[in-house]
């Protein structure tokens, strides 16, 4: 934990995908101080016709969903949102106005950790 899921419209090169994954992981570590070993990043590429932006098809889109164990401050979350937005723009060329970041806090009893125990049971 944290987990980052990126949804991106089609068209990124293999190098851009790698940079986006690595840059997102680094953004989490730098902005909220999460240990690198605990960060997981997934990239889902959206097929053509599977993204509608303001009523328009065929527009570039990039969305980050970050799942965290509850307890981080609003300031840390704001830093995370800003850093991921910047990484997205710099890596893909999608304008920052078109990038969205959603942060979801999970209560400690609702998050399963290594070994099949909750974050609360692990003292997180």
- Over range 87-102, report the average pLDDT: 95
Residue 121's pLDDT is 83
What's the predicted TM-score (pTM) here?
0.91
The pLDDT tens digits of the residues spanning 1-51 come to 899 999 999 999 999 999 999 999 999 999 999 999 999 999 999 998 899
Q: Give whole-number Cα distances, 94 to 63, 75, 79, 122, in Å.
A: 11, 25, 19, 39
As given in the structure block, the two tokens for residue 82 are 């800003």
The verdict on residue 62 lying in a domain is yes
- Helix (H/G/I), strand (E/B), else coil: 88: helix
The verdict on residue 24 lying in a domain is yes
**Chain centroid to CA 32:** 13
Residue 92's pLDDT is 96
The pLDDT tens digits of the residues spanning 42-78 come to 999 999 889 999 899 888 999 999 999 999 999 999 9
The verdict on residue 84 lying in a domain is yes
| CA separation for the pair 67, 1 (Å, rounded) | 7
Q: Give whole-number Cα distances, 99 to 1, 12, 118, 120, in Å.
A: 22, 15, 32, 33
> Cis before residue 2, ω within 30 degrees of 0?
yes
Residue 109's pLDDT is 87
The verdict on residue 33 lying in a domain is yes
Residue 18's pLDDT is 98
Which residues form the domain of 76? 3-110
- Over range 94-119, report the average pLDDT: 90
Q: Decide if 4 contacts 62 (C-beta within 8 A).
A: no
Query: In this structure, what CATH number is given to the domain that contains residue 61?
Result: 3.30.429.10
The verdict on residue 121 lying in a domain is no
Residue 1's pLDDT is 81
């Amino acid at each position: 934990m944290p987990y980052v899921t990126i949804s991106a419209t089609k068209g990124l090169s293999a190098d851009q995908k790698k940079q986006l994954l690595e840059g997102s992981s680094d953004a989490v570590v730098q902005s909220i101080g999460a240990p690198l070993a605990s960060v997981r990043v997934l990239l889902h590429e959206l097929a053509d016709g599977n993204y509608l932006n303001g009523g328009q098809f065929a527009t570039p889109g990039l969305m980050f969903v970050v799942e965290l164990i509850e307890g981080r401050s609003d300031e840390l979350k704001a830093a995370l949102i800003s850093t991921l937005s910047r990484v997205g723009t710099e890596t893909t060329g999608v304008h920052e106005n078109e990038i969205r970041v959603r942060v979801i806090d999970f209560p400690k009893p609702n998050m399963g950790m290594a070994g099949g125990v909750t974050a609360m049971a692990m003292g997180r």
